[in-house]
Amino acid sequence: MSATRERMAALKARLEASSPAPPPTPIEPVLAPPRRVFPTPKTRNRFAENAAAHTTALVGIGHVGTRYATDVILQFQAELAVAHQAVATELSESFAAQHALLPLQSRVTSHREFLLRPDLGRRLDEASLARLRSQAMKGIDVQPILADGLSATACMGSGVQLLQSFIRECEAFGLSVGTPVCARFARVWLEDEIGETVQAKVAAILLGERPGLGTGDGLSAYLVHAPKLGKTDGDRNMLSNIHTRGTRPEEAAKRLAVLARAMLEQGTSGVSLDLGKLAKELGDSGGRGYRAPQERVRLVEVPT
């Protein structure tokens, strides 16, 4: 056999036995990359600074390759976890009693069923209906309802404060307020059956709203005039984004009482309620669901 063929056979054997990957390239010392989320002033860029004045969108965060930096992914995961946890939290059965509220429950029997069956979340179970009939005041102007909705966390957080402020504001307007109740596994439309049962002129349900990224503490309120089964969304007025970074509970309570009084005066609610005269008292919200931009807060801190 020829010398060249022998040497090529040996080289072939060596190449085949070696890693199929190209040989490693020499590596330089790696510099520590900068923080991308809420950077310290020293590294803050002008775009991110400008952006912060106008939006809470997570922008100006740079990239590694085409992906996120580690502190971006951790902030994102923390925000996602907060939202998921708010949804997963259940309102404890003893919560109503602890706060001297009449305990009610919808026809829903489990948290999963609550998410999957909005129809059951709009109706009271038999025991609750009986309790409401026997223990609640009837024929009142306003029936206040606190409920879990899609965030029991928010309900248990500033829910009671909002409820009590709302009752106080209504009474200050001289409105008669019904027995405060607290409903588990409740959807917005549950206010129809509750209000109808106690013959309230206005039903007001204050409940945890569907969490956004990093926020699980927002409450919404839905008011309806002449509540009864069969009312639709167009019959209601609502105020959302009630939390310390949006509309504060005390302020929200005032606006909701203004809405309730307007419904009683005009004898209607929803799209046919004339809000024009109330603009000043309602602020920018106008019952239309205005959202103030929220501040984005750092969720992850690791002591170093």
Binding positions for other proteins, rule: CB under 8 A: 1-5, 7-9, 11-12, 15-16, 20, 22-23, 47, 50-51, 53-63, 65-68, 72, 76-77, 79-80, 83-84, 86-87, 115-119, 150, 210-213, 290-294
CA distance 153 to 94: 15
Query: How far, CA to CA in Å, does 169 sit from each of 8, 165, 175, 215, 228?
Result: 94, 6, 9, 27, 24
CA distance 186 to 283: 28
Contacts of 249 (CB under 8 A, 6+ apart): 158, 161, 162, 165, 219, 242, 243
* Sheet hosting strand 142-149, strand order edge to edge: 102-105, 181-184, 142-149, 202-208, 219-225, 236-242
- Cβ atoms within 10 Å, residue 135: 10
CA distance 266 to 246: 29
In the bound state with other proteins, the residue whose beta carbon lies nearer, of 117 and 168, is 117
Query: How far, CA to CA in Å, does 49 sit from each of 40, 45, 52?
Result: 11, 6, 5
* Interaxial angle between packed helices 160-172 and 249-266, expressed in degrees from 0 to 180 and rounded to the nearest 10: 40
Smallest distance from the beta carbon of 56 to other proteins, in angstroms? 5
DSSP state, 110? S
CA distance 178 to 167: 9
Smallest distance from the beta carbon of 179 to other proteins, in angstroms? 30
Structure tokens at 59: 């922008």
End-to-end CA distance of the chain: 68
The torsion angles phi and psi of 177, rounded to 5 degrees, stand at: -115, 135
Query: How far, CA to CA in Å, does 18 sit from each of 4, 26, 27, 173?
Result: 21, 18, 21, 86
